Amino acid sequence: MTDRSGSKDLFDRAMQVMPGGVSSPVRSVEPYPFFVESGDGAYVTTEDGDRLVDYCMGYGPLLLGHGLPHEVREAVDAQIDDGVLYGAPTELEVEFAEHVVDRVPSMEMLRLVNTGTEATMSAVRAARGYTGDDKIVKVEGGFHGAHDGVLVEGGSGLSTLGTPDSAGVPRSFTRHTLQVPFNDADAVERVLEEFDDVACVLVEPMMGNCGPVEPDDGYLERLRELTQEHGVLLVFDEVITGFRLDLGGAQQRYGVEPDLTTLGKVAGAGFPIGVFGGRRDVMREVAPAGDVYQAGTFSGHPVTVAAGLESLRFVEREDVLGYVDSLGSKLRSGLSDVVEDTRPEYTVGGVASIFKVFFTPDGELPRDRDDVDRCDTERWRRIFWTEMRDEGVFLPPSQYESQFVSYSHTEEDVEETLEAYDEALR
């Protein structure tokens, strides 16, 4: 038996000073999470001495794995030498913004913020400011961070006004949020016909917090048409998919351009970042150019921007996406074989460098949140996560979270991971 008293002792201390002993709820597992001592390439080493191949990858930002390539490290060090924060604009943030605008098809102007939460909160405000309308449409199971208007109960809310999904969120805030199932453009059409005061449809073009769940053919195209017909802005939340599904994100991969886009995660190379941007006429409404107020002490943080820009350049130079996508395909196809042998009722989802085994009852790939709810999520949470850790693999402790291959993973890692799944699923 591995001695896990290192993590247990830290958890006991953490419980005294941090709610639930963690800094973010998804990190909480029963009876206690492992604490990480260090990361190295595709691996983390825990405080209990376990060395685990990591597919959590910080919940998405670590496209390159743990540890920064020397070019990125040099850019970070140079920026620290030159000063960490100025509270004044820098050339670097202009270069970063130009880099993003050049690559993300619909992006004409952007604002740098610090998290994905801040990015989606600000994009919604910009959409409301631009249109003068209050309501937003979001997808059930779509996660856009932890701000009030998007913390809406999961149940089917077609044409019903949202109720809060968290204590502390005023009902009067979420009544502006309408929910529809993913991959159901007819539901969006019905909502837009019923309500004439919708500012935007906010959607992850590929649901990353419910699987992953890919859009059906034609779904995003219909959202584009419907929003245009009704004078409503289409906002793609590309916090997970940005710079991962393609250099220009999901909108490039699927060929549909939204009005506004949010980015985060990969864009900051592991440092905190968020971006919202899109159509010039909408972004010109953002302060100080316009009347939509948005501000932040740490926005455009020089160290983050230095790391993000240099790592995005590295991703392109080294064809990182080509590598991680092909490793992702190998993993998905190997997992399909494992599942067929061990648990034919399960199925494998994902795209590019993202993958997940769904504990489905019938082998049908989930198309929306309800389908994922029908999976054996309890087996995932209570048993499977621990079994995989014991097999030397770090997965997010939830059926709902996507898993990521990084540039640091190797074919041998994939082989060993397939053996671990085979062992745990048997």
Binding site for ligand PLP (CB under 6 A): 59, 115-117, 120, 143-145, 204, 208-209, 237, 239-240, 264
**Smallest separation (angstroms) from ligand PLP to the CB of 265:** 7
Q: Give the residue with the Cβ less far from ligand PLP, 120 or 360.
A: 120
Q: Give the residue with the Cβ less far from ligand PLP, 405 or 424.
A: 405
Element (H, E) at 289: none
**Smallest separation (angstroms) from ligand PLP to the CB of 236:** 10
Q: Give the residue with the Cβ less far from ligand PLP, 117 or 179.
A: 117
**Smallest separation (angstroms) from ligand PLP to the CB of 117:** 3
Q: Which two tokens stand for residue 215?
A: 């859009």
Q: Give the residue with the Cβ less far from ligand PLP, 50 or 204.
A: 204
Answer yes or no: are the C-beta atoms of 378 and 10 closer than 8 Å. Answer: no
Distance, CA of 156 to CA of 413 (rounded, Å) = 40
Q: Which two tokens stand for residue 395?
A: 């997965």
Residue facing ligand PLP at closest CB distance:
116
CB-based contacts of 354: which residues, under 8 Å, 6+ apart? 206, 208, 212, 240, 244, 328, 402, 403, 404, 405
Distance, CA of 81 to CA of 84 (rounded, Å) = 8
Q: Give the residue with the Cβ less far from ligand PLP, 145 or 258.
A: 145
Q: Give the residue with the Cβ less far from ligand PLP, 142 or 334.
A: 142
Q: Which two tokens stand for residue 268?
A: 């900051």
Q: Give the residue with the Cβ less far from ligand PLP, 199 or 266.
A: 266
Among the listed residues 335, 334, 280, 269, the one whose alpha carbon sits nearest the alpha carbon of residue 303 = 269
Neighbours of 295 (CB within 10 A): 10
Answer yes or no: are the C-beta atoms of 276 and 111 closer than 8 Å. Answer: yes
Answer yes or no: are the C-beta atoms of 356 and 207 closer than 8 Å. Answer: no
Distance, CA of 401 to CA of 237 (rounded, Å) = 16
Answer yes or no: are the C-beta atoms of 233 and 259 closer than 8 Å. Answer: yes
Q: Give the residue with the Cβ less far from ligand PLP, 227 or 402.
A: 402
Answer yes or no: are the C-beta atoms of 353 and 404 closer than 8 Å. Answer: yes
**What are 110's strand-pairing partners?**
277
**Smallest separation (angstroms) from ligand PLP to the CB of 169:** 16
Q: Which two tokens stand for residue 390?
A: 């014991």
**Smallest separation (angstroms) from ligand PLP to the CB of 373:** 18
